[in-house]
Amino acid sequence: MSVEILKVGKWQSPINSIMTPSPHTHNDFYQLIFTQNSIGKLIVGDEAYPFKPEHVYITPPGVLHTCANTKSTQYVIFYFKTLNPVLDEILKELPSEIYPRDIVSCKQLLSQSAYEFSIGTQFSHLRANAYLELFLSSALDAAPILFSAATEGDQPVSAMSDTEIDRVANFIYNNFSKEISVEDLVAVSNFERRHFYRVFKEKFGTTPNKYINELRLNKAKTLLATTNMPVNEIAAYCGFSTEHYFSRVFSNAVGVSPSEYRKATERSSKEIVF
């Protein structure tokens, strides 16, 4: 086992309370926050990370941070230790905010981990640790690719292409709520435009615009199935200019409207613990 959970809690700020968050550190354990709405933010040093629904926020031991909760902030929080030095080093290098690519599976793993921990027996805690470990291994797939500019010159051209395109993919995942132009992606890749198109299509089997559109639709489907966010907010959050445009694109791609999709998935979403 590589992790040991110390505590699991579900935070929901009281609507009528006055929140006075203060900076603090956890010297001996990690803090992992899985957000359920877009209210509040995590502040790490001089950097602020506004909460986004179904994102993961991690603070390592000894790092000064503030959970700037406000009225109606909601998230699930895990406190855990690492028992594996390699995993510990990887987690310390992660960005403070991560959006897991396979959010449905990751959410189920966290739900199962929280449930097993709540049972309170020795073996249920072991199972909870195992589920959290699986979650971390899945969530790490969403983290930006870490590479050193000093060693890039020693890589073959194919490896360099993979590195640059991975950088583009991470840029898309971190900015899919905003308008993204092909020129933005070409600039991130450092490729010539024609070469960028060729390498991107070889890597992902589609064009950049179709890739972005599919990502936005998949995120929208997840939010429709697992949250109560209004359709217009989902449209804006997923990078669609208007709710009407979002509904038209969604219906053409999925075969039903966003509201119909939400109704069809309502039963399965209720089976998820949080």
Block residue for tokens 């030095």? 85
pLDDT in tens, 157-211: 343 356 777 788 888 888 888 899 989 999 988 888 888 888 888 877 888 998 8
- Alpha-carbon separation of residue 225 from 31, 142, 254, 269, 270 (angstroms): 27, 21, 14, 6, 9
| Same domain for 124 and 184 | no
| Same domain for 156 and 90 | no
Higher-confidence position of 106 and 151: 106
**What is the distance between the alpha carbons of residues 57 and 51, in angstroms, rounded to a whole number?**
9
Q: Does the model's pTM come out above 0.85?
A: no
pLDDT in tens, 21-45: 889 999 999 999 999 888 899 999 8
Block residue for tokens 């409207």? 257
pLDDT in tens, 232-262: 999 998 999 899 999 999 999 888 899 988 8
pLDDT in tens, 108-150: 889 889 989 998 898 899 999 999 998 888 776 655 443 333 3
| Same domain for 196 and 125 | no
The pLDDT value given to residue 274: 52
| Amino acid at position 272, single letter | I
**Confidence category of residue 18, pLDDT binned at 50, 70, 90:** low
How confident is the model over 43-59, as a mean pLDDT? 90
| Same domain for 159 and 116 | no
Q: Domain count of the chain?
A: 3
Range of the domain at 165: 152-205
| Same domain for 156 and 137 | no
Three-state SS at 8: strand
| Same domain for 125 and 244 | no
Residue 265 has pLDDT above 80, yes or no: no
Note whether 11 and 75 are within 8 A (CB). Answer: yes
| Same domain for 138 and 9 | yes
Q: Is residue 138 part of a domain?
A: yes
- Alpha-carbon separation of residue 69 from 14, 19, 29, 42, 50 (angstroms): 10, 7, 21, 8, 10
| Same domain for 26 and 126 | yes
| Same domain for 199 and 161 | yes
